[in-house]
Amino acid sequence: MIDVERLAAWLDESGLPGKGEPVEHHYISGGAQNEIYEIRRGELHCALRIPPATAPAARDEGILREWRITEALNGTDVPHTEAVAVCTDTAVLGRTFYLMEFVDGWSPMGTDGWPAPFDEDLTARRGLSYQLAEGIALLSRVDWRAKGLGDLGRPDGFHERQVDRWSRYLDRIKGRELPGFDVAAAWLRAHRPLDYVTGLMHGDYQFANVMYRHGAPARLAAIVDWEMGTVGDPKLDLAWMLRGWPEDTDAPEAATTLYVDLTGMPSRDQLVQHYAEVSGRQVDDMDYYDVLAQWKLAVVLEQGFQRAGDNEKLQAFGPLVLQLMRGAAELAETTRYGT
C-alpha cells in the first residue's frame, strides 16, 4: 500500500490541484513489474504507477523510461495517457513513480468477451482492430528526436543486433532444443528489410496493452504499458500485433486463436494496408518482420517455460514456443521475400 500522507505532502509541493484536500486512492492492478492506483484529490484525477517494494532496483529506471515516453507523447495525435508528474525521490513512497491521466475506458483484458455493442455488432467490432493498427501507425510518425528521445534506444544496427542478442539470451536459459531456431536465425542473418525507417516503438503491442473509449464507434483511448518502449523499427510492432492472426476471421477457430475473439475482424492484409496508409511506410517486406516477431517471441516465452515449476500458466508456454519457432522456420523457408 502507498503512504497517503507522504503522497499528499508531495502533491502539495508539486503544485497539483486539490492542495490540502484528502487523497482518495484505490488499488487497480499490479504484479511483479508495477502497481497502479487510482488517485483522486479535488479536481485531480489520475493514475499512479509505481514498482512494488519487492521489485529489483532497476525497475525505478524502467519507470523513468516509461515516464519519458509518456511525457513525449503529450501534444501528439497518439492515443495515450497524458503525463502529469514524476517523482524520483524514493523518500516519498519508497520507489520512483509517476502520475498520468486517468483514462475513462475499457481494456480487452478486463472484460469477459467483447462489451456491447462489440459483442454482437461485427461491423463495430472490426473498428477495434483498425484502431489497434492505427495506434502504432500514429506512434511511428512521432518525431522522437524533437521529443528528446535521442538516447532512448540504439537505433543504429537495430536489425544487425537482433539475432545475436536473442541467441545469447536463449543460450543463458536453454534447457531443451527448439527445432527451427537455427533455420529462422540463419534466414534472419541473411535478410534485411527493404528499408529501415527509425521510429518510436512500443515493444509489446497487442490488444492487452491498449484501452478503448466506451461505446461505438471503436475509438482507441490510450496505448499503455511502455516497459519495452524504445527507438527502433516500428514495423516490428505491427508484426508483433499480428502474430497468430487467423487467415480466415470468419472461421470457427478465429474465436480461439488468440486470447480475444477475432470473429468478424478484418483480415491480416487489410490491417497491414491500413497501417501503411496511416503511417506512410511501405509494407512489402512484412515477411521479414513476421519471421523476426515469431522467432523472438518464442525465445522470450521459453524463459517463462524454463522457470515454470508448478505454474500451469507458464507450463502452457512449452508447446506454444515450439509452435511459434516451427512457424518462424516454415515461413523463412517458404517466403519469396528477398529471393
* pLDDT digit string, tens, across residues 202-225: 999 999 999 999 999 999 999 999
The verdict on 92 and 189 lying in the same domain is no
Give the span between the Cα atoms of 23 and 39, in whole angstroms. 7
* CATH number of the domain where residue 51 is located: 3.30.200.20
Q: Domain count of the chain?
A: 2
Angle subtended by helix axes 317-334 and 181-190, to nearest 10: 40
* CATH number of the domain where residue 113 is located: 3.90.1200.10
Task: Give the CB-side neighbour count of residue 317, counting CA atoms within 13 A.
Answer: 18
Q: How far is CA 18 from CA 52, 99, 270, 291, in A?
A: 26, 14, 47, 51
Task: Give the CB-side neighbour count of residue 299, counting CA atoms within 13 A.
Answer: 23
Q: What's the chain's average pLDDT?
A: 94
Confidence of residue 24 (pLDDT cuts 50, 70, 90): very high
Does residue 4 have a pLDDT over 90? yes
Give the span between the Cα atoms of 125 and 116, in whole angstroms. 10
The verdict on 89 and 117 lying in the same domain is no
Q: Give domain status of residue 339, yes or no.
A: no
The verdict on 63 and 122 lying in the same domain is no
Model pLDDT for residues 138-147, shown as the tens digit of each residue: 999 999 999 9
Identify the domain containing residue 10 by its residue range: 4-101
The angle formed by the CA atoms of residues 112, 243 and 183, to the nearest 5 degrees, is 145
Please give the grid coordinates belonging to residue 314: 507458464
Beta 97-101 vs 199-201: how paired, if at all? unpaired
Which of residues 47, 81, 101 is at a domain's end? 101
Q: Give domain status of residue 259, yes or no.
A: yes
User: Residue 255 in 3-state DSSP?
Assistant: helix
